[in-house]
């Protein structure tokens, strides 16, 4: 079984958030979602929130330096000492490199990148459903959805090429019921 320093990776709509909730319970580790952190700041209208809103409303990534500083601070907290489940970070190669640096400063390393994959058509259909259910501004507009898919392909997917040679990527087929997908993920950590 890999260790518990884990990244949950995949395109928007892959089910990262849903699966993270299950996996954090299974492994008893904190769930760190950068999307949730940004939404919290946006809701509370903090300075960070105002910056994040400018980008997330358009389906763009919040700038690396802002995001990396936020994650660095979070990974400095005591509850992550026994492991963590990062959801939605890293989303760019500079973020992946920064994560390695943050961890190596603590004599730690990443143990697994759980890569949930689904097709582009499935992404579109899931995000438009989520817009109707959750009212997320960044899920509602087809142009924003397309931006998020393009951003994933151009900026986030290169993280996989960065991680593959390290032999820590665990590929998970993301189509199926929530329980089917979570059983596939649980099998990695059995
Ligand atoms: P999510 O809930 O993970 O889809 O994130 C919602 C939005 O927050 C994204 O579309 C980005 O604008 C922003 N965001 C979340 N995580 C990151 C990240 N690692 N780097 C940059 N922006 C992010």
| Rounded Cα gap, residues 74 and 188, in angstroms | 26
Residue 71 confidence (pLDDT) above 90: yes
Please state whether the peptide bond connecting residue 112 to the residue before it is cis, i.e. omega within 30 degrees of 0: no
5-188: CATH topology:
Rossmann fold (3.40.50)
136 is catalytic: yes
Classify the phi-psi angles of 73: left when phi > 0, otherwise alpha if psi is within -120 to 50, otherwise beta. alpha
Minimum-distance ligand 1 atom for the alpha carbon of 34: 16
Given 74, 91, 126, 184, the catalytic residue: 91
16 annotated active-site = yes
Residue 150's pLDDT band (boundaries 50, 70, 90)? very high
pLDDT at 118 over 80: yes
Is 39 tagged catalytic?
no
Choose the catalytic residue: 24, 148, 170, 184. Answer: 148
Alpha helices in the chain (DSSP H): 16-27, 34-43, 47-56, 64-75, 93-105, 120-134, 137-140, 142-151, 158-163, 178-188
- Please report which confidence band the pLDDT of residue 15 belongs to, taking 50, 70 and 90 as the band edges: very high
How many Å apart are CA 102 and CA 105, to the nearest integer?
Answer: 5
Residue 112: what are its φ and ψ, rounded to 5°?
Answer: -155, 140
Look up 130 and say whether it is catalytic: yes
How remote is the CA of residue 42 from the centroid of ligand 1, in Å? 12
Residue nearest to atom 5 of ligand 1 (CA): 35
Residue 131 φ then ψ, to 5°: -60, -45
Question: How does residue 89 score in pLDDT terms, banded at 50, 70 and 90?
Answer: very high
Q: Cβ < 6 Å from ligand 1: which residues? A: 12, 34-35, 38, 55-56, 59-62, 67, 88-89, 91, 95, 138, 148
């Amino acid at each position: 079984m890999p260790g518990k320093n884990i990244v949950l990776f995949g395109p928007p709509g892959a089910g990262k958030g849903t699966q993270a909730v299950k996996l954090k319970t299974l492994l008893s580790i904190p769930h760190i979602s950068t999307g949730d952190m940004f939404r919290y700041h946006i809701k509370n209208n903090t300075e960070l929130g105002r910056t994040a809103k400018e980008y997330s409303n358009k389906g763009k990534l919040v700038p690396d330096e802002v995001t990396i500083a936020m994650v660095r601070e979070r990974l400095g907290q005591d509850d992550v000492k026994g492991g963590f489940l990062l959801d939605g970070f890293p989303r760019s190669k500079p973020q992946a490199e920064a994560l390695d640096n943050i961890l190596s400063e603590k004599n730690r390393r990443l143990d697994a990148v759980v890569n949930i994959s689904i097709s582009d058509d499935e992404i579109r259909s899931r995000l438009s459903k989520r817009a109707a259910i959750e009212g997320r501004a960044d899920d509602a507009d087809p142009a924003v959805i397309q931006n998020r898919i393009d951003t994933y392909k151009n900026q986030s997917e290169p993280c996989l090429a960065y991680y593959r040679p390290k032999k820590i990527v665990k590929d998970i087929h993301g189509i199926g019921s929530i329980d089917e997908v979570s059983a596939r993920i649980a099998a990695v950590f059995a």
